[in-house]
């Protein structure tokens, strides 16, 4: 069974991923950002078809404690953040958590 990629964020953020073929997405309106983000994280985390969830790094600041914990600790699906100050070290940790090994580790 192949795993789907899901995207959570503003319509501007999700549009590029949708154009690239991502079929699962949660659009968040700026007015209801906190509540909608929390609900979207919970919903996507329960979806058995989703293997990777992409979010904008700045949206993490709007999450409540429990959804933030899901994003930080979930292995399947793996939450990947892009943009913001995450940088390469943040992505490195996300990949390490997702697959269990550090691909960039030097011998």
3-state secondary structure the chain: CCCEEEEEECHHHHHHHHHCCCCEEEECCHHHHHHHHHHHHHHHHHCCCEEEEEEEHHHHHHCCHHHHHHHHHCCCCEEEEECCCCHHHHHHHHHHHHHCCCCCCCC
Write down the pLDDT at residue 100: 63
Answer whether residue 23 shows pLDDT above 50: yes
Domain range list for the chain: 4-99
User: Is pLDDT above 50 for 4?
Assistant: yes
Backbone angles phi, psi at 93, to 5 degrees: -65, -35
Quote the tokens at residue 44.
Answer: 């996507």
Fold for the domain defined by 4-99: Rossmann fold (3.40.50)
pLDDT tens column, 24-55: 999 998 887 888 999 999 999 999 999 999 99
Q: What is the largest CA-CA distance in the chain?
A: 49
Question: What's the pTM value of the predicted model, to 2 decimals?
Answer: 0.78
pLDDT 10s digits, 63-106: 999 999 999 888 899 998 888 654 545 656 666 666 666 655 66
């Amino acid at each position: 069974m192949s795993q789907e990629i899901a995207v959570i964020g503003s319509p501007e953020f999700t549009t590029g991923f949708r154009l690239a073929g991502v079929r699962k997405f949660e659009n968040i309106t700026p007015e209801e950002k906190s509540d909608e983000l929390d609900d979207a994280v919970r919903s996507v985390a329960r979806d058995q078809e989703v293997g990777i969830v992409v979010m904008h790094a700045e949206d993490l600041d709007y999450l409540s404690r429990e959804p933030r914990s899901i994003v930080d600790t979930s292995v399947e699906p793996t939450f990947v953040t892009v943009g913001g100050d995450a940088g390469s070290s943040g992505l490195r940790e996300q990949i390490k958590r997702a697959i269990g090994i550090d691909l960039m580790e030097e011998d």
